Every structure is written in structure tokens, then in C-alpha cells.
Amino acid sequence: MSDGNNSPPPEPSERSEPSEPADALAAVVALRRLADQLEDSAVEQAMRSGWTWPQVSEALGVTRQAVHKKHAKRLIAAGVKLRRRGDERV
């Protein structure tokens, strides 16, 4: 019969581990926001340095239509010179 002393006490949870659903869910919200900001910034940087929509969409693993729909208006409004299909990279 076990007297209960054989099993170690549960390890205290790691500080970096979400302890409560509220923290974990809030982390999801914050990560989405960070990812959105990072995407806006990274796509803009790529297009400013001459990447094409097909290249950016392939890098992001989404369709060209999706990346165009999400970013084209913003980049045009920001005056970014966008490469057209058929422009050859030099």
C-alpha cells in the first residue's frame, strides 16, 4: 500500500506557461496583433525592395489574391512602387 510519499509533489508550473485560460486566450489576441503588425511591416519592406506579389505570397504561403487583397490598397496609398506581373527582376 502506498503511503502517498512515493509520488513527487507536482512541479510548480513554469513562469512562462499560461496558468489560466484568460492569460492563454489574451496571449492569442496579442500574438495575432503582433503577427498582423509584423506582416504589414514585412510585406511593405519586401515590396519596397522590389519583391513581386507572387514572391511575397509564396513566402507567406498564401494565395497571390489574398496577399494583394490584404495589402495592395495600403501600399499604393503609401506610394510604394509595385512591380507588375511581367516585370523582370534584374
Partner 1 sequence: MSAFDKYLHAVIVRAMDEAQDDGSATIDAHHLLLSLAADEGSTAQQVLASAGLDRDTVREALDREFEHSLSVVGVSAATYDLPGPSRAAQQPKLGASARLALDRSFATARKKDLRSTHVLLGILQADIGTVPRALALAGIDQAELTDRVRQLLNGQDQDRDQA
Query: Which residue's CB is nearer to partner 1, number 23 or number 87?
Result: 23
Q: Which residues contact 46 (CB under 8 A, 6 or more apart)?
A: 55, 56, 59
Q: How far is the CB of 88 from partner 1 (least distance, A)?
A: 26
Query: Which residue's CB is nearer to partner 1, number 3 or number 14?
Result: 14
Query: Which residue's CB is nearer to partner 1, number 44 or number 58?
Result: 44
Applying CB under 8 A, the residues found at the interface with partner 1 are 16, 18, 22-24, 26-27, 29-31, 33-34, 36-38, 40-45, 73-78, 80
- Residues 72, 82: contact at Cβ < 8 Å? yes
- Residues 83, 51: contact at Cβ < 8 Å? yes
Amino acid at 35: A
